[in-house]
Structure 1
């Protein structure tokens, strides 16, 4: 994995002088720093790494994020991979490739590395992604993620993409699959029903079902849309799917939406001790985004001593997110809060 140097160098060996990136990097790679502080540092670095056009901080921020792959925390490494996939910068590809290739790495981290390569749209990664997609001995969650990533890259570079009529989204994230093309239907209710049918049809390719998932997400935002609650309830049915990867993505979408109608389904997923930890972790973090809703913090606190480390850590982060939500902040962490992050 990438070295966790406190005095990073860039390319030709010149020491990076940017104190903002360096301060955030020190917090992120420090195993003695509180996990919540490390997450805030991570999302601050993601902000710097994702600037368009790139700045002098872009590559150092990407390198700082990659340096933390040396951590033993699967939750943190999973989040590192996600953030690198959101940078739109191919400088993140080598680190993500290394994580995906590391068979000793937690499958949750390898899955996120594969998803990030798909989010970057890196055609040079297609051969590797297809290799893992087609390897019957590979972890299911890794195979399924590679299947979606291959489809996403192929879609992104296809001529058909230019002819699709996509609904404008309230979300700036690069999703594992684009929302399904707008349907020429008479009502939002009819559209929700059609998308739900696609979402729940496990005979369809995962990429197609994911497209329905993100289309339903967009029909649930803003939350006062007439289609919002029906779309959330349709998405909640996906938490019964046989694929842990699929269930985990539903919980992630609920975290994006922060819609109160998703709370019962998220609590059920988090409370299920037989559920996969990657699903429970996303459910916990999604509840953190709803931390200003009555009773949510109390629910999260019940799982601070959960047997699963990734769930315990997710609850710590979720409770920190809940405090952020109650403070009325728009972003969980951005560069202006560096003083608080470094404290």
Structure 2
């Protein structure tokens, strides 16, 4: 059993309706994802509101689902809340050896994103367990470094480039120094497998920020540098590169994402991230047709990701403001529709 996620009296009806959609195994997966991102919106509001804890509890309630894709996304969303109430749910998932490895990895990464030192003991224990899965150990290693950085004097002294992205990332970008950011230097750090993963991730997110907006002079070179990371020996690292491409929505990433998705020997967690990244580029010519080729993929997590990606692609073409069942005046009507 997961920690209690029971409803409190007086919970807003929109939250209850969104929760009902999210936890329902009969609802289409794409619709459940839209409900999740609506709940994430509520759970991440700063300062917290009366809906914050009920939204966190609603997200956590869906960890009972058999869908690894959905559960890994739940963990990611909880990691973005900046809220201590998310910690116990994520610790439960990361410690559960019966849980899908992709979900445990995402829970560890989310604990790192939250940055609370009380998670360090659990993360260090898993990091140092030689019998633990590599993906879990690697993620815990990065999460430990991130929490330690978050609470360090070093962090206070660093000057970071303002980012176009509001996400709490597994690692901050490289700090600014007196000279202009150098893509070849960041690429060298990105690809150096002898360096700690946390440092390499910092180079990754530094390159990401040099690729946004898409018409930035450095964007294509930064995308091409990131693409080389898709050949890294670490599946965890490759999946994070694909995730970054999903954030960037840069057309220059389409060829390498398509190759990644089409490689049936690639890890499912990497291919699924490539599919969702392509979904964010759904208004680009040929992307939807590419995704549809994988609707019957041998791997469940890839099939599910393609379903969500095609829904994202439809959203990109529709001109809607938010990929969510947006809370607000008519949110309940939208959520309970066909």
TM over 0.5: yes
Out of 190, 193, 201, the residue aligned to residue 192 of structure 2 is 201
Match of 2:327 among 319, 323, 335: 335
Distance 1:335 1:253 in 2: 27
Say if 2:295 and 2:307, in contact at 8 Å, map to a contact too.
Answer: yes
Deviation >4 Å, runs of 4+: none
Q: How does 1:76-115 map to 2 (within 5 A)?
A: 76-115=70-109
Encode CA deviations 1:60-103: one digit per residue, 9 max, x unaligned.
00000000000000000000000000000010111101101100
Aligned to 1:9, what secondary structure does the other structure show? coil
Partner of 1:299: 290
CA shift at 1:4, angstroms?
9.4
**Aligned counterparts of 1:168 and 1:124: Cα–Cα separation in 2:** 28
Once the two structures are superposed, residues 239-265 of structure 1 have per-residue CA deviations (whole angstroms, 9 ceiling, x without a partner) of 000000000000000000000000000
Distance in 2, matches of 1:110 and 1:133, equals: 12
Task: State the number of aligned residues.
Answer: 334
CA distance in 1 between partners of 2:177 and 2:251 (Å)? 27
CA distance in 1: counterparts of 2:3 and 2:123, whole angstroms: 25
Q: Are the equivalent residues in 2 in contact too, given 1:110–1:142 (CA < 8 A)?
A: yes
Report the Cα offset of residue 212 of structure 1. 0.2
How do residues 151-166 of structure 1 correspond to structure 2 at under 5 angstroms?
151-166=145-160
Partner of 1:48: 42
Q: 2-side partners of 1:93 and 1:252: how far apart?
A: 23
> Residue 271 in 1 paired to residue 262 in 2?
yes
Q: Summarize the Cα distance change of 1:330–1:179 in structure 2 as closer, same or farther, 3 Å threshold.
A: farther
Matched with 1:30 is 24
Map of 1:9 onto structure 2: 7
Q: Which residue of 2 aligns with 1:128?
A: 122
CA displacement, residues 216-272 of structure 1 (integer Å, 9 cap, x when unaligned): 000000111110000000000000000000000000000000000000000000000
Q: CA deviation at 1:183?
A: 3.6
Q: 1 CA distance for matches of 2:17 and 2:3?
A: 16
Tell me the C-alpha RMSD between the 2 structures: 1.3
In the aligned structure 1, how far is the partner of 2:97 from the partner of 2:288?
36
- Structure 2 distance, partners of 1:61, 1:257, is 27
- Indicate the residue corresponding to 1:225 in structure 2: 216
Distance verdict in 2 for CA 1:125–1:152, change over 3 Å: same
**How far apart are 1:292 and its partner, in Å?**
0.1
Cα 1:338–1:251, aligned 2, differ >3 Å: closer, same or farther?
farther
Deviations 1:177-212 (A, max 9, x none): 0001114335x5xx1111000000000000000000
* Unaligned 5+ runs, structure 1: none
| Deviation (angstroms), 1:9 | 2.5
Between the aligned partners of 1:198 and 1:17, the Cα distance in structure 2 is 48
Structure 1 residue 3: Cα displacement:
7.9
Unaligned runs of 5+ in 2: none
